[in-house]
A = this chain, B = another copy of it.
C-alpha cells in the first residue's frame, strides 16, 4: 500500500510522512482569535485540518491534535503596536476582556459542532500559558536572541539571521521585509523595524496584563504558539498547520522563536490551507462580500437563495483540495448539494441492499479501496477520493439492476469502506441517521401509514388520492421513491 505524502510548505515539496514516534502523530494548528465570529474562510481551514486529523486516525495513528485559542496578545496592528484585539472589543462594550473571549469561544465551538468537527485533543489558550511564555522569553534573552527595552522584550532578527535563515518559511529576504515595514517613528523601542515583540510592557490603558520579571505586560502574539507547541508536543514534532495568511509573519516568527529557545525549529512538516473567496472576490466585511457560518446554515444572506446543511458545505469544501483557492457561490453549493444527496442516497440503498446475488461480484472492491487510500495518501487529495466515491455510487446503482455486480460479500465490504470514508474521514453526517431518534421513529411510523394508503390508492388506480398524497408530502419536503422492493422516502433540504 502507498505511504502518506504531505506537501511541506517549508521545503515546497511532497514529503513522505515519517512520524518522530512510531504509531503516534503530533499536530499543531493555529486556532481562532476570539474577538469576533469566525468567518467561512476560517471554517474551511479548520475543516481541512479536521480531515487531516481524521485521516491520520483512519491510518491507525494515535494523534495528539493541539489547536489553540488566542485570547490575548493579538494586536490590531501587525507591527506590534495598537491595542489588543480582544481587549479593544471589551473596552468598546464596557465588559471584561474574558467575557469577549468566552462569548466568541462558545460561538466558535457551536460552529465547529455544527460542521461536525472533532474536538482537538488539547485546546490551550494564550492566557493559560503566561508562565510558559515568560520562561521562553527568558530563554531567548539568555541565548542572546532578544533584548529588553523599557520593559518590553523584542526578538533580535538581525542577530538571529546571522546564524539562522530568517525568512526560510515564507521565502522573504531581510531587505524585502524591511521595505515592507514602516519606518520606525520614534515611538517604538525596537532596534530594527523587522524585530518583533516577545513581551510588551502594558501601558496604563492596556487592560490585559500580567506580572513578569520586566514589570506588568502581556505576551507577543507569535510567542504563544511556540510556547504551547513546545509544551504539548515537544521541541520537535510532526506537523504544524494553519491558514495561508499566517505563513508570514506568524509562522516565520514561530520558527525563529523555537530555534532560538530550543535549538530546533519545531515542526517537521508545515501545512497551509488555502483561502476561500465569495463569488470570485476576496471576502471583506467593508464591501459586504462576506458570509458567516450562521448565514450559510440559515440562508439569511443576500448571497444565497436558500439555507444549506452543514454537511453540504463540508462536502463542497472537501471537493476542492485544501491547497487550492476555493470559490463559494450559491450555484456551486446547489451543485454540491445534488452530489451530496446522490452519494447519501446510494449509501442508503447499499445499507438496505437485500442479500441477493453471488457472494463475490464483478466490481473489484479491493482495487477501488486502494485507489481511495492512494488519493488520500497523496497529500490528502479529497477531491480525487470523492471522485472514487462516485465510482462506487455508479456501481451501487448498476447493482440494483444486476445483483452480480457487487455480490453479497462485495456489498458488505463496500458498505464498511463507505461508512469509513463518508462519515469517519470526510466527517459528513447523514441527516436521517443523526436525526433526533424520537422524532425519527415517529416519522417512520407516520410514513408507514402514509405509504400504505398511497399504495392502496395506486392499486385501486385512484390517481387523484395518490397525487394528493404526493403533493402534501412534497410540501413537507418529503420525496417518495418507488423501488422494486416497495417505496421509500427521504427528506429533502
* A residues adjacent to B (C-beta < 8 A): 64, 95-96, 98-99, 102, 106, 109, 119-125, 127-128, 130-132, 134-135, 210-211, 232, 431, 435-436, 438-450, 453, 469, 472-473, 475-478, 491, 493
Contact = CB atoms under 8 A, between A and B. Distances in A.
A102, A435, A446, A453: residue with the most chain B Cβ atoms closer than 10 Å: A446
A450 B445 CA distance: 10
Copies in the complex: 2
B99 A445 contact: no
A102 B119 contact: yes
A99 B442 CA distance: 39
Nearest to A106: B119
Contacts of A135: 211
24 contacts: A64-B99, A96-B122, A96-B232, A98-B122, A98-B232, A128-B128, A439-B440, A439-B443, A439-B491, A441-B476, A441-B477, A442-B476, A442-B478, A442-B491, A443-B446, A443-B476, A445-B475, A445-B477, A445-B478, A446-B447, A446-B450, A448-B476, A449-B449, A450-B450
Contact of A439 (B131, B439, B473, B475): B439
Contacts of A125: 125, 128
A112 B453 CA distance: 43
A128, A436, A439, A440: residue with the most chain B Cβ atoms closer than 10 Å: A439
Contacts of A478: 442, 445-446
A477 B438 contact: yes
B436 A439 contact: yes
Pairs A-B, 10 closest by C-beta atoms? A445-B476, A128-B128, A446-B446, A98-B122, A442-B476, A106-B119, A131-B210, A130-B131, A442-B491, A449-B450
A64 B122 CA distance: 27
A124 B447 CA distance: 49
B436 A448 contact: no
Given A98-B122, A436-B435, A453 B449 contact: yes
Nearest to A99: B121
A440 B438 CA distance: 11
Contacts of A445: 472-473, 475-478
B443 A442 contact: yes
B446 A435 contact: no
Contacts of A120: 102
A60 to B, nearest CB: 17
Given A436-B436, A438-B493, A449-B450, A121 B102 contact: yes
B109 A122 contact: no
A234 to B, nearest CB: 11
A473 B491 contact: no
A444 B476 contact: yes
A440 B435 CA distance: 11
A326 to B, nearest CB: 26
A491 B130 CA distance: 52
Contacts of A124: 98
A102 B122 contact: yes
A341 to B, nearest CB: 13
